[in-house]
Amino acid sequence: MTRERERASPKRLLKVGKRECVVGFIQSRHLVGTEGRWIRWSEEQEGRVAAGGGRHKDGGDGWRCFVQLQTRSFHCFSDFCKSLALVGNFRTRPLFYTEIAMSMAPSSSNQSKSSSNLGGKVRIIARIRGFSDQELASDAAHSKSMISVFKSGDGVKLSFDDQLSSRKNDYDVDHCYQQNEDTALIFSNEIKPHISRVFNGENSTFIAFGARDGGKTYTIKGSEEKLGLGMLVMDEILKTVEGGKHTITVSIFEVFQDHVYDLLDPKNPEVQVLEDAHRKIMLKGLSKVPVKSLLEFQKLYLSDNSLNKPTKKITLELPRRSHKALMINILACDEGGSSKLVGKMNFIDLAGYENSRRNTFDGTNLNESTRINKSLNALLNVIHAINANESRVPYRESKLARALQDSFGGNSHISMLFCLNPLFCPDTIHTVTLASRLKNIKPLVTCSAAKKQTNSTASISGKKHTKPPLSANKLDSTTKQQTNSRLPLSAKKTNSVLKGRNLFSGTEEANGFKEKTPSMENNLPNIVKSDIPDNDSTVVPHAKEEKCSSVTVLSNSDSAHVASDIVPSSHEEDASVKTQNNLPHVNGDNIEKENNSLVANEGASPPISVKLKRLADNLKALSSTPLPVSRLQNANTQVCNSVDTMEPKTPVVTHKMDTSKCQSGSFSKRSSGLKQALVQNYLHFLNTASEDDLKGISGIKEKRASYILELREKSPEPFKSLDDLQELGLSAKQVKNMMKDVVRDLFS
């Protein structure tokens, strides 16, 4: 312990930029091999595993791993240790680290509110664009804005007046810039604080996402009159490099239909995205133009006469709705005259999302719109995976993400700006649902213990299922409305399973991305047709990680709710099992009430009390017959028959029973039958209960309930044995405890 104290002493307090950085020493095999990974254990707190482990110097079974923590929170270290302790097998006492944390000076928090999330991987912000000149000239600008913004905790809530569904929908984002706030403000709050970090070797990417006409280009590229973020950042960077130690180069490219084109080299626009032997991404054929003054940059970036225009050939043949990227490379020059890349800043103006089912398109535009939406979907899958700290990020599904892979990984920061049209636009609402889902992700502590648990329980009946991300419990209201309106009543209940769908990996329809593409391939322009891979960009986010809290073993008090939630709330006395003759009595009125409440939900599973009644009847059948002890003593065959009558599911015993063991044998058989019946009923309940009923069970709750519904979609009866419950992330012990509590409650 003494040696460990020295290693983790406050001397190891480092400064990384303005942020304090604590290096702690944690002996945990769960962190071995996770070097470079970020671990976040609360909204604001995260740490980076600075070095991997290995056998402890002094031998023994200890593994060691340095964890470098970057934080502005005084108590972060102890919180981190607590979260590790939740996972178990955490070798060193968390108290030790609490002591270290307490001995450090509290860090300053002088950063602006809007950049409070700088340590976070992905910051989700929104901008409600101002009215365009055209809109100002028309009546449109005088109509009521469909978006209201409210403060909510650390972030803000956007409320949309959905004129289609006549509903108000609320979505969370980190911050929202209003119509009267200009691009310069976004620059000083969101971009400027990152510039120094890029000079210190980090990468920063700013992505503008939104429906068409949301103001993405206005924000990123701007114009000569209204400077966009690209111009503002270059101005600031050029001021910073005035000392002469750095040089700046820029690349501008677009991703059009899964092909990357260099916008600064009209002769050879196609860029190859390759990976070198060190798995570093190379953009072969992409020009990097040195920039020394703002004027030079302006010519490249803004001027219509610049090379920053699609080549003539492409302009004539293809409609240009594409993702555009500005890449600013900062290079450090050494004395020998050679330069080395220090950091990158990327500004991405994504093509606008447009629901092609709502809008009418001709074949070419439909195809184009479909491809754009697919590529947006793929990019969001990547951002989602990064934000959720998932072990697999589906870079290969998105050409743009692949081209930017170096900037996304490691010590990088991503901001997603959702550009909103203030006028009513269903596509805008759709894009915000996506923003909100990204925002709701709570990245998890990644540890092999949790992984192991998930992996070991990853199959039901030999089938492998992918768990939905824990945050994926919101359904796009627009989609829900559309889908529901086309479904018969009976199907609507089942449709609620969509709630638990993977964030960006559910059917595209659920995400509003599904596009019908009649004769799409035939309409593809020749230039790209043969090269376009026919892959579906929808990716199931890899969800190996599991939230530590979900690993927590149910306490007795928790699990006691299982039964109490199952029995009808009124007449609890009736529902409890006191004696053989007092088996659960389910109040008929209650059943009727529950059934009435489900009338609108034809096809939904029977109410919980009906299921409980079935369970009670089974138990009654088993326990109402007096124990046949005397008969057992008289005739073995008679005993076996009586057992068979009571428990038709129990295999017939054909061998001769030893009379001396008969009594206990019969009892244990009876008990096992009872157990079987109870288990079967419980499983039947899980296989058929409605989402609301499932949510009521302690240990199941909302996320597991929606996951159960999803499993049921794949297989009508996903739970065949108690082992299958482990698919829900419950350990065998937790399942056993749940069952014990059910029984205990029945007989209490």
Ligand X SMILES: Nc1ncnc2c1ncn2[C@@H]1O[C@H](COP(=O)(O)OP(=O)(O)OP(=O)(O)O)[C@@H](O)[C@H]1O
Residue number with CB closer to ligand X (128 or 401): 128
Does 493 engage in binding with ligand X (CB under 6 A)? no
- Our finding on whether 215 is near ligand X (CB under 6 A) is yes
Q: Contacts with ligand X in 657-676 (CB under 6 A)?
A: none
- The single-letter DSSP state of residue 555 is P
Q: Which of 233, 493, 430 has its CA nearest to residue 343? A: 233
Of positions 27, 42, 98, 132, contacts ligand X by CB under 6 A = 132
91 is in an annotated binding site: no
Q: Which amino acid is at 723?
A: D
Burial of 415 (0-12, 13-18, 19+ CB in 10 A): buried
Using CB under 6 A, which of the segments 128-136, 295-303, 669-677, 734-742 binds ligand X?
A: 128-136
Beta-ladder partners of 332: 246, 340
Residues that bind ligand X (rule: CB under 6 A) add up to a total of: 13
- Give least dist CB 130 to ligand X, A: 3
Q: Hunting for tokens 């009546």 — which residue is that?
A: 139
Flag whether 210 is marked binding.
yes
The interface region with ligand X, picked from 54-62, 124-132, 290-298, 338-346 by CB under 6 A, is 124-132
Short-list 515, 301, 325, CA closest to 401? 325
**H/E element, 743:** helix 732-747
Q: Which run of H or E residues covers position 739?
A: helix 732-747
Span interacting with ligand X, options 76-84, 127-135, 518-526, 614-622, rule CB under 6 A: 127-135
What are the tokens at 201?
Answer: 């070797």
Q: By CB under 6 A, tell whether 254 contacts ligand X.
A: no
Spatial separation of the C-alpha atoms in residues 728 and 708, rounded to whole Å: 8
Q: Does 210 bind ligand X (CB under 6 A)?
A: yes
What letter represents residue 579's amino acid?
T
What is the token pair recorded at 407?
């900037």
Does residue 216 have a known ligand-binding role? yes
Shortest Cβ 353–ligand X spacing (Å) = 8
Within 583-642, which residues bind ligand X (CB under 6 A)?
none
Residue 215 annotated as part of some ligand binding site: yes
Nearest CB to ligand X, comparing residues 29 and 216: 216
Span of 215-223, 340-348, 481-489, 712-720 interacting with ligand X by CB under 6 A: 215-223
639 neighbors 628 (Cβ within 8 angstroms): yes
Inter-residue contact 48 to 111 (CB < 8 Å): no
Q: Would you say 422 or 665 has its CB closer to ligand X?
A: 422
Residues 333-352 vs ligand X: string with x where CB under 6 A?
Answer: -------------------x
**Tokens 């803004």 identify what position?**
302
Q: Which is nearer to ligand X, 220 or 470 (CB)?
A: 220
Type of residue found at 690: S
CB under 6 A: which stretch of 210-218, 306-314, 467-475, 686-694 binds ligand X? 210-218
| From 263, 327, 388, 419, residue interacting with ligand X (rule: CB under 6 A) | 419
Q: Which is nearer to ligand X, 129 or 611 (CB)?
A: 129
Q: Is 541 in the site for ligand X (CB under 6 A)?
A: no
Q: Give me the least distance between CB of 210 and ligand X, in Å please.
A: 6
The residue (of 298 and 690) whose beta carbon lies closer to ligand X is 298
Binding window for ligand X (CB under 6 A); candidates: 206-214, 281-289, 432-440, 635-643: 206-214
213 is in an annotated binding site: yes
Phi-psi region of 210 (alpha: psi -120 to 50; beta: other; left: phi over 0): left
Q: Under the criterion CB under 6 A, does residue 228 sit at the interface with ligand X? A: no
For ligand X, which residue of 24, 53, 120, 130 counts as binding (CB under 6 A)? 130
**CA–CA distance, 658 with 720 (Å, rounded to integer):** 33
Burial of 363 (0-12, 13-18, 19+ CB in 10 A): middle
Length of the chain: 748
Closest CB 256 distance from ligand X, rounded Å: 13
**Residue pair 671/442 in contact by the 8 Å Cβ criterion:** no
693 contributes a contact to ligand X by CB under 6 A: no
Residue 216 sits in the site that holds ligand X (CB under 6 A): yes
Contact (Cβ atoms closer than 8 angstroms) between residue 519 and residue 364 = no
Minimum distance from residue 366 beta carbon to ligand X (Å): 16
- The string of DSSP letters for 173-238 reads ESEEE-TT--HHHHIIIIIHHHHHHHHTT-EEEEEEEEBTTSSHHHHHTB-SSSB-HHHHHHHHHH
Task: Please give the DSSP secondary-structure letter assigned to residue 474.
Answer: -
Binding site, by residue number, is 210-217
Residues that bind ligand X (CB under 6 A): 129-130, 132, 210, 212-218, 352, 419
Q: Which residues are annotated as a binding site for ATP?
A: 210-217
